[in-house]
């Protein structure tokens, strides 16, 4: 039977995955903001596409902040030891 990594190790690995996801969310938000920025000052600025880009970027920003808050909580998790 293979021994599983410790809970602390598994949580650390999960946090690494979450950090990678946060970086991807930030990248997506940046791409949308660049796309939206390229539309500014043109006849595309007042279109539904522009509004959709703006809303999507805002939702990504909001989700990013919420996930960061969850990460802060997870970083403070201390697992009890077998003998404490």
pLDDT string in tens for the chain (84-residue length):
788 999 999 999 999 999 999 999 999 999 999 999 999 999 999 999 999 999 999 999 999 999 999 999 999 999 998 776
Tally of CB atoms within 10 A around 50 = 16
Q: What is the predicted pLDDT for the residue at 84?
A: 60
Q: The pTM is what?
A: 0.85
Judge whether 15 and 72 are in contact, CB under 8 Å.
Answer: no
Please state the separation of Cα 52 from the chain's center in Å.
Answer: 19
Q: What is the predicted pLDDT for the residue at 14?
A: 97
Q: What is the predicted pLDDT for the residue at 75?
A: 94
| Interatomic CA distance for residues 60 and 53, integer angstroms | 11
């Amino acid at each position: 039977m293979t021994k599983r990594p410790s809970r602390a190790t598994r949580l650390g690995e999960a946090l690494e995955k979450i950090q990678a996801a946060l970086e991807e969310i930030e990248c997506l938000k940046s791409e949308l903001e660049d796309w939206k920025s390229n539309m500014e000052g043109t006849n595309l600025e007042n279109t539904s596409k522009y509004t959709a880009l703006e809303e999507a970027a805002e939702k990504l920003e909001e989700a990013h902040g919420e996930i960061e808050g969850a990460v802060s909580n997870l970083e403070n998790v201390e697992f009890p030891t077998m003998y404490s």
